């Protein structure tokens, strides 16, 4: 197979499995070659997560510490006040994040919640940050309300292959997820959609997840690949750890299948050494969650990530340029200038 290829939406499972089965060096070479056709290989996008509503979720996702069905010792919290969310976003921006992702442990938002979350979107955008939310399933109307408020990205994961899905979640179907994703697209928002590996699935399931993502009419702009964070009290707490090379292969295949998407080295970095993370960047990962906490579990300290970027000569990616409206253009300039002044991150070029 040529390493130079156009963006495709017709991948067969066998073709994807053939990529997974390549010798490791051949796979990584192919992924890195494709990565360089579309991205600066030394830039990584940085997003910060914030849990705006924590715990007591009615769903039964077997990996999730926030499900009310499992005793994980997590304190349930009410929806965070809008001002508090904006304060957190301001801190995230000051430490170098360009996107702020707000997550809620909901099956889907209630219509009475929407005015609060739309105010959060407006407030966070007002700081000049990109906005992302993950609030569970959305109706077409709810998606439109969020899009009208200016929400840039909506995160809703397929999590795994259609075949393995039933082993992990029984309270919502794969089809429910696809419908939410279609509603998000139809409302004009960018899609952030990926999954989790290390849940006891087979390579065929990892291929199946990527096949679903790659064969969507439009690829998700952002593809988070999460390594399962095994949380005490969840049904997957004692799951066997996935071999790091299998994780890297998953990133590489995602990069080859979705050459223009940002592939996020997502949950699980706290348990990964720097070498594994460096290999993930080489395989084509070009986004991370940045800041000491994911939603409820630890993530590497910001300082540690800055040191890793320095060691690897990686720069944080600036805000995406395609936002052409004037206010956003000003916000972009502000951020670039602020970044230059603050030198929050090491400047590998300087
Ligand atoms: N409740 C909403 C939903 O499920 O759509 C949004 C929040 S939910 C926590 C967002 C995503 O986090 C899940 O789809 C899953 O992919 C990921 N996630 C949750 N727990 C995880 C864990 N223990 N390890 C890795 N990823 C996890
Ligand atoms: C995604 O794919 N991963 C993030 C984000 N989207 C919302 C969440 C990871 C959660 C890890 C477990 C926790 O911290 O609760
Ligand atoms: Fe609830 Fe989302 Fe966790 Fe599933 S992943 S239990 S829907 S918070």
- pTM of the full structure: 0.89
Looking at the domain assignment, is residue 349 inside a domain?
Answer: no
For the Cβ of 65 lying below 6 angstroms from any atom of ligand 2, the answer is: yes
CA distance 279 to 76: 37
pLDDT at 194: 98
- Hey, whose CA ends up nearest to atom 18 of ligand 1? 64
CATH number of the domain at 202, please: 3.20.20.70
Range of the domain at 85: 34-319+331-340
| pLDDT tens for each residue of 115-137 | 999 999 999 999 999 999 999 99
pLDDT at 336: 39
pLDDT band of residue 333 (cuts 50, 70, 90) is very low
CB atoms within 10 A of CB 23: 8
- Hey, whose CA ends up nearest to atom 4 of ligand 3? 61
pLDDT at 331: 52
Looking at the domain assignment, is residue 8 inside a domain?
Answer: no
Q: Which residue has the tokens 């979720």?
A: 57
DSSP string for 13-59: HHHHHHHHTS-HHHHHHHHHHHHHHHS-TTEEEEEEEEEEE-S-BS-
pLDDT at 343: 47
- DSSP-derived 3-state class of residue 122: helix
pLDDT band of residue 332 (cuts 50, 70, 90) is very low
pLDDT beyond 50 at 330: no
Looking at the domain assignment, is residue 235 inside a domain?
Answer: yes
pLDDT at 320: 53
Closest ligand 2 atom to 297 CA: 14
Closest ligand 3 atom to 172 CA: 7
Percent of the chain with pLDDT over 70: 90
Nearest to 177 by CA among 211, 131, 213, 203: 213
249 CA to centre of ligand 1 in angstroms: 21
Mean pLDDT computed over 175-203? 98
Mean pLDDT computed over 64-93? 92
CA distance 22 to 40: 25
For the Cβ of 106 lying below 6 angstroms from any atom of ligand 1, the answer is: yes
Looking at the domain assignment, is residue 6 inside a domain?
Answer: no
Mean pLDDT computed over 249-259? 98
Looking at the domain assignment, is residue 346 inside a domain?
Answer: no
For the Cβ of 134 lying below 6 angstroms from any atom of ligand 1, the answer is: yes
- Hey, whose CA ends up nearest to atom 6 of ligand 3? 67
Looking at the domain assignment, is residue 64 inside a domain?
Answer: yes
pLDDT beyond 90 at 307: yes
Please, which residues bridge with residue 190 across strands?
A: 153
Among the listed residues 50, 101, 206, 335, the single catalytic one is 101
Looking at the domain assignment, is residue 28 inside a domain?
Answer: no
pLDDT beyond 50 at 112: yes
Q: Annotated catalytic, 132?
A: yes
Q: Annotated catalytic, 193?
A: no
Count of structural domains within the chain: 1
Nearest to 162 by CA among 178, 181, 184, 138: 178
Cα distances (Å, whole numbers) of residue 158 to 162, 224, 231, 273, 325: 8, 10, 20, 27, 32
Looking at the domain assignment, is residue 22 inside a domain?
Answer: no
- DSSP-derived 3-state class of residue 157: coil
pLDDT at 155: 98
């Amino acid at each position: 197979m040529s390493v130079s290829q156009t963006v495709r939406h017709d991948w067969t499972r066998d073709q994807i499995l053939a990529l997974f089965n390549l010798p490791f060096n051949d796979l990584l070479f192919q992924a890195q070659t494709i990565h360089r056709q579309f991205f600066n290989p030394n830039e990584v996008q940085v997003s910060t997560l914030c849990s705006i509503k924590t715990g007591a979720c009615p769903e039964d996702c077997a990996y999730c510490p926030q499900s009310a069905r499992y005793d994980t010792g997590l304190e349930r919290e009410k929806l965070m006040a809008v001002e508090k969310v904006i304060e957190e976003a301001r801190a995230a921006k000051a430490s170098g994040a360009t996107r702020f992702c707000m997550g809620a442990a909901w099956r889907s938002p209630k219509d009475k919640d929407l005015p609060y979350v739309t105010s959060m979107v407006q407030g966070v955008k007002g700081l000049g940050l990109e906005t992302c939310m993950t609030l569970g399933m959305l109706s077409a109307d709810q998606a439109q309300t969020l899009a009208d408020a200016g929400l840039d990205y909506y995160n809703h994961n397929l999590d795994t292959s259609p075949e393995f899905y039933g082993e992990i979640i029984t309270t919502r179907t794969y089809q429910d997820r696809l419908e939410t994703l279609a509603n998000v697209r139809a409302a004009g928002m960018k899609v952030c959609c990926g999954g989790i590996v290390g849940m006891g699935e087979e390579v065929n399931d990892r291929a199946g997840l990527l096949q679903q993502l790659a064969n969507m009419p439009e690829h998700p702009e952002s593809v988070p690949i999460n390594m399962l964070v095994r949380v005490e009290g969840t049904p997957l707490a004692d799951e066997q750890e996935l071999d790091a090379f299998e994780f890297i292969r998953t990133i590489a295949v995602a990069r080859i299948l979705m050459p223009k998407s940002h592939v996020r080295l997502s949950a699980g970095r706290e348990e990964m050494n720097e070498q594994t993370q460096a290999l993930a960047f080489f395989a084509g990962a070009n986004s991370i969650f940045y800041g000491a906490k994911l939603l409820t579990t630890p993530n590497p300290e910001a300082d540690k990530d800055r040191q890793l970027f320095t060691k690897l000569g990686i720069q944080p990616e600036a805000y995406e340029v395609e936002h052409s409206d004037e206010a956003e253009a000003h916000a972009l300039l502000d951020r670039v200038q602020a970044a230059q002044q603050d030198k929050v991150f090491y400047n590998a070029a300087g």
